[in-house]
Copies of this chain bind each other. A is one copy, B any other.
Amino acid sequence: MVPFASRGHVIKPLNELTATEIVAAIGERRATCEAVVRVCLDRVDSREHEVHAWAHIDPKTAIAAARALDSSGKRGPLAGVPFGVKDIIDTFDMPTEWGTPIHKGRQPKRDAACVALSRKAGGLLLGKTVTTEFANLHPGPTRNPHDLTRTPAGSSSGSAAAVADFMVPIAIGTQTTGSTIRPASFCGVFGYRPTYGDHRMHGIMEASGSLDTLGILARSIADITLYRDVLLGIPPEPLAKIERPHFALCRSHIWDQIEPITQTLIEDAAFRLARAGARVTELTLPAEFELLNDAHRSISSFEFARTFTWEIENHWNEISETLRGGRLQDGFTGNFARYIEAKQLADECRRRLDALMGGIDVLLTPAAFGEAPVGTPAFAGVPLYQVWTALHVPAVSIPVFRGTAGMPIGAQLIAKRHDDRKLFACAQWAYEKLT
Contact = CB atoms under 8 A, between A and B. Distances in A.
Interface stretch (A56-64, A140-148, A195-203, A275-283): A195-203
A202 B197 contact: no
A127 to B, nearest CB: 18
Contacts of A27: none
Interface in A331-353: 335-336, 340, 343-344
Interface in A201-253: 201-203, 205-206, 209-210, 232-234
Contact of A205 (B92, B111, B202): B202
B116 A309 contact: yes
Contact of A110 (B109, B110, B234, B310): B310
Interface string A296-312: 00000001011111110
Contact of A306 (B117, B210, B335): B117
A106 B119 CA distance: 22
Given A103-B109, A234-B336, A335-B234, A310 B201 contact: no
Nearest to A237: B336
Looking at A103, A202, A308, A335, the one whose CB has the most chain B CB atoms below 10 A away is A202
A14 interface: no
A113 interface: yes
Contacts of A110: 103, 310-311
B202 A307 contact: yes
B234 A307 contact: no
Contact of A310 (B116, B205, B233, B305): B116
Nearest to A210: B197
A117 B309 contact: yes
B119 A306 contact: no
Contacts of A109: 103, 106
Given A103-B109, A234-B336, A201 B210 contact: no
22 contacts: A103-B109, A103-B110, A110-B311, A112-B310, A116-B309, A116-B313, A117-B306, A117-B309, A119-B313, A120-B309, A197-B209, A197-B210, A197-B343, A200-B209, A201-B206, A202-B205, A202-B209, A202-B307, A233-B306, A233-B309, A234-B336, A344-B418
Interface of A: 92, 103, 106, 109-113, 115-117, 119-120, 197, 200-203, 205-206, 209-210, 232-234, 303, 305-311, 313, 335-336, 340, 343-344, 418
